[in-house]
Amino acid sequence: MRIADRMGTIKPYFFAKLGARIAEMRAQGTDVIRLDMGSPDMPPAQFIVQKLQQAADQHDRHGYSPLGGSPDFRKAVANYYDQHFGVTLNPKSEVIGLIGSKEGLFHLSMAFLGPGDVALVPDPGYAVYASAARFAGAEVVTMPLLEQNHFLPNLSTIPADVRERAKFLWVNYPNNPTGAIASDAFFTDLIDFAQTHHVLICHDAPYLHVTYDGYQAPSLLQVPGAREVTVEFNSLSKTYNMAGWRLGMACGHAPAIAALHSLKSNLDSSHFLVTQDGGIAALTGDQSWFSERNTVYQERRDIVLNGLSQAGLTAYKPQAAMYVWSRIPEGRQSAEFASALLEEVGVSVTPGSFFGECGEGYFRISLSTPTPNIEEAITRISAWL
């Protein structure tokens, strides 16, 4: 039996292979500190967990749930956007619940893209943007995110023929892996570009509430006209420390939301109602605890920045997201650097090349590791260098 040719577009996921190697090292007694994955180490607020527990005791919460999320969950998402961003969404037509935003990113490409289409993808960027497009048979054209341009794509350099064939343009701010943020002016230019060239903007925005130094990240949907050309993906994973709960949402352009709903109705049976109840509590409850959580991340960020600077490495200071993006020493390759760091001193980071060609020369450190472990890891890196 032969698998489909399109499976050839899918590579083994980097973190799966890395996780297997770390498990081997730990089984052999090596103390490995993981600074690679962006999985929050702190728990959700206690009232969120309590709601989950209470809902699980209700006998009517264990059957199938409505496709695309319960009406109450979708209303909670709409209320969240209104409260935080002043964006009014119709919960029936402009909001859909996802089993984590990752599956939504992939499935929207399956719903829209095909052979002959182009997806504009940031480089460096989250690998799913490109892999989903290729799986759908579309062509991927990368947009370099360069440090001298503050890790923003230069829309004016996209060739005319590519603009004409492009269906999707992916952006992600606050940005993974660089931690960069987007200005209001850039977002306005982006919506103008989409309206002019009939491109759907896909904004991956799970880090809107992981911010530092007083910065407040905007939603792209705040820009006038954005809802007509934009789908914004969001998630409770990073905002509410609920990565394992797999609760996400897509919002905005109603026809795209309808297409995603139609596809998903053939693929899944929505999410466990009990988990959605916990998500509703998170979205509608006290939001003030973000500040304390972000203070912890900011402290870790500063430990990493100071340590890398003392070690002679140049790192970009992020105002948002949960990563530090740093240059590697001259003359080395990022994959080789990350592998040697893991094998020789037991510190796991993500090589920049994993995120694309323009990520070469960098590595990413995640701040989602307990502070003492981060301090120990930075000490090891400094001594090793």
Helical residues (DSSP H) of the chain, grouped into ranges:
14-27, 46-56, 71-85, 101-112, 127-135, 160-165, 184-197, 236-239, 254-264, 273-284, 289-310, 334-345, 371-384
What local confidence, expressed as pLDDT, does residue 7 receive? 86
What local confidence, expressed as pLDDT, does residue 262 receive? 95
Q: In the structure encoding, which two tokens stand for residue 144, read together?
A: 């370099």
What local confidence, expressed as pLDDT, does residue 118 receive? 96
The per-residue pLDDT for range 148-192, each reduced to its tens digit, is 999 999 999 999 999 999 999 999 999 999 999 999 999 999 999
Q: Quote the mean pLDDT of the chain.
A: 95
CATH homologous superfamily for the domain 5-44+289-384: Aspartate Aminotransferase, domain 1 (3.90.1150.10)
The per-residue pLDDT for range 7-49, each reduced to its tens digit, is 888 877 788 888 899 999 999 999 999 999 889 999 999 999 9
- Cβ neighbours for 94, distance < 8 A, ≥ 6 positions apart: 78, 227, 251, 252, 253, 254, 257
Distance separating alpha carbons of residues 208 and 206, to the nearest angstrom: 6
Contacts 24+ apart (CB under 8 A), 284-289: 284/76, 284/79, 284/80, 285/45, 285/47, 285/48, 286/45, 286/47, 287/83, 287/84, 289/45
What local confidence, expressed as pLDDT, does residue 155 receive? 96
What local confidence, expressed as pLDDT, does residue 1 receive? 85
Q: What is the CATH number of domain 63-284?
A: 3.40.640.10
The per-residue pLDDT for range 215-247, each reduced to its tens digit, is 999 999 999 999 999 999 999 999 999 999 999
* Residue that is written with structure tokens 């990240």 in the block: 217
The per-residue pLDDT for range 210-221, each reduced to its tens digit, is 999 999 999 999
Distance separating alpha carbons of residues 275 and 269, to the nearest angstrom: 14
Biggest alpha carbon–alpha carbon distance for the chain: 62
Distance separating alpha carbons of residues 119 and 113, to the nearest angstrom: 8
Evaluate the omega torsion of the peptide bond into residue 122 and state whether it is cis, within 30 degrees of 0. Answer: no
Taking 80 as the threshold, does the pLDDT of residue 205 lie above it? Answer: yes
Q: What share of the chain is helix, strand, coil (3-state, %, to 5)?
A: 50, 15, 35
**Residues 320, 185, 101: CA angle, nearest 5 degrees:** 45
pTM for the whole structure: 0.95
The per-residue pLDDT for range 274-320, each reduced to its tens digit, is 999 999 999 999 999 999 999 999 999 999 999 999 999 999 999 99
What local confidence, expressed as pLDDT, does residue 57 receive? 95
Whole-angstrom CA distances from 40 to 37, 111, 240, 244, 291 are 9, 31, 9, 9, 15
Where are the domains positioned within the chain? 5-44+289-384, 63-284
